[in-house]
Amino acid sequence: AALGLDSLPAQAAADALVHALEDAVREADRASELDTEIVRARELCNSAGEARERARQMINDALLERENTQESWRQWCRERDLPEAMSPDLMPEFIADIRRAAGLYTQIRAAEKKQEGLAGEIRSFEEEIAAVARACNESQNAPPDAVLEGLVRLLRDEEEAKRRYDTLRQQLHEKEETLEKVFARYSAATASLEGILRERDAETPEEYREFERLSRERVRLEASIRDAESAIRRNSGEGRYQDFIAALQEYDPIAMPVRLQEKEESLPGIQERINEINQEIGTLREQRSRIEGDDDLTPLLSREATLREEIRQVSRQWAVYTTASHLLAMAVETFERERQPEILREAQSFFTRITDERYTRVVKPVDGSDIYIEEATGGRKKIDELSRGTAEQLYLALRFGYIRDYVTSSAPVPVIFDDILVNFDPERRKNACRAIADLAETCQILYFTCHPQTVDDLAEARPDAVVMDIGE
């Protein structure tokens, strides 16, 4: 109303008003120039008389034009309800104010439109929040921002649950792949086992294992028989071999040590008797040389023959006792080799396998002395002569022998091992894993280890073994 307007004009009207004001300003500027020319004309009139009239005319024209211009200005002001006394000199500032007002009006309209848009977006967002809350069965009694915070917490929980679900799904996929591989190995092992059973005409694995055990036992016994026959032939000679065999058949392992002891006790007396007879022979020879011309020669020669016959008999008896002692020692060795307790035989089998047949026998002597180990080359070692690793492998084989003997005579029980192969070299560790796989034929084995290579060796020795990672 202060600008002579009933209300805020439109943008086009404001621009037209601005252009009109600019025109009026230019006219006002023109009027100001005319005033300047009037002043200059008056000055020229004082200095030039002949130009006076022209100047007066120019003044009148200028005044008329000024009056017209002022009238136009006043008319322009009246048309716009502006004070007629308003000076054109104020128009630049007035135009600047109008332009600022137009800019503020534009900003206000833009802010209002933005506010309306934001209000619509807020209403739409609140409607979306309400729809999501209804879909999630969440309460809508709280303010929208509180409902939104609840939905955000719910979303985070769902995202965490989704991550756990994806992790478990991945683990399930890995377990399924592992299961497929294990099943494939199991199928291959089953097919291989069926083929082996068909080759051996066995109906069950137990029947096949029994067949293999008997076959190995037969081979071992045949080798033992050949070794024993060779040793007997070397010691007895081909001519007395059958006599020696007949003596072995009559061999009594209980009475023989007593007879051996008796013969050994009589050996010093026999040897002393032989020495005495030899001394007598020497004495007789000296006497013979002295009495060759003596009439007593014939009785002495007869005495010599008698003594020689006695010496032959004593020597023959000594040879029999010596041979009997040697045969007794061989019989004791055979008894130690073939009639060892079942535990030692099982331990010997495991120890031979673990050491890759470097050591072939574990022997407990009949006289009760310490256990010794026999190498494949025939050499013997006591336990304190073994390396630490080999001694541990022997103790492990003895434990296996005790376990095998126990489960054979009693109900099978689970056996737990806790990283018992840490001091074994790679080759003997693999052999020990195969021995453990063999032991698993008769009882359940639980083996705890933190060494991946041990797991691989056990899985290779026993493809159907179940591997569980207790760290998951």
| Both structure tokens of 79 | 């048309």
Residues 194 and 212: their CA atoms lie apart, in Å, by 15
Quick one: how far is CA 145 from the chain centroid?
48
- Please report the pLDDT score of residue 235 as a whole number: 64
Pairing of strands 372-375, 380-382: antiparallel
pLDDT at 332: 47
Task: Identify the residue whose tokens are 């009139």.
Answer: 45
pLDDT of amino acid 333: 56
State the pLDDT at residue 335.
Answer: 45
Identify the sign of the CA torsion 228, 230, 233, 235. Answer: negative
What pLDDT was estimated at residue 1?
45
Q: Which letter does DSSP use for residue 447 in this model?
A: E
Architecture per CATH, 340-461: 3-Layer(aba) Sandwich (3.40)
DSSP string for residues in 63-80? HHHHHHHHHHHHHHHHHT
pLDDT of residue 409: 75
- Note whether 46 and 84 are within 8 A (CB): no
Distance (Å, rounded) from C-alpha 278 to C-alpha 272? Answer: 10
Sorted by where each begins, the domain ranges of the chain are 11-109, 142-201, 251-334, 340-461
Q: What is the pLDDT along the chain (472 residues), one digit of tens a residue?
A: 445 556 666 777 777 877 888 888 888 888 888 878 877 866 766 666 665 676 577 777 777 877 787 777 777 777 777 777 766 676 677 778 778 888 888 888 888 888 888 888 887 877 777 777 777 777 777 777 777 777 778 778 888 888 888 888 888 888 888 888 888 888 887 777 777 767 767 777 777 777 778 778 888 888 877 777 777 667 666 666 676 666 666 655 556 666 667 777 777 888 888 888 888 888 877 776 766 655 566 676 677 778 888 887 777 777 666 665 665 556 445 544 544 567 777 888 888 888 878 888 887 765 556 777 788 887 888 878 888 888 888 888 888 888 888 887 777 778 898 888 888 888 888 888 988 888 888 888 899 998 889 899 989 988 888 888 886 5
Q: One-letter amino acid identity for 211?
A: F
CATH 1.20.120 is the classification of domain 251-334:
no
- Residues for the chain: how many in total? 472
State the pLDDT at residue 367: 58
State both tokens at 313. Answer: 């008999």
Residue 231 neighbours by CB under 8 Å, 6+ apart: 330
DSSP code for 8? P
Answer whether 62's CB lies under 8 Å from 38's CB. Answer: yes
d(CA 108, CA 318): 141
DSSP states of 347-397 = HHHHHHHHTTTSEEEEE--TT----EEEETTS-EEEGGGS-HHHHHHHHHH
Q: Which helix (H) or strand (E) holds 123?
A: helix 91-135
Distance, CA of 122 to CA of 145 (rounded, Å): 11
End-to-end CA distance of the chain: 84
Name the residue among 149, 146, 117, 144 with its Cα closest to residue 131: 144
* Amino acid sitting at position 324: A
Whole-angstrom distance, CA of residue 340 vs CA of residue 286 = 58
Helix H or strand E encompassing 227 = helix 205-236
What's the half-sphere exposure (Cβ side, CA atoms, 13 Å) at 342?
Answer: 8
**The pTM is what?**
0.31
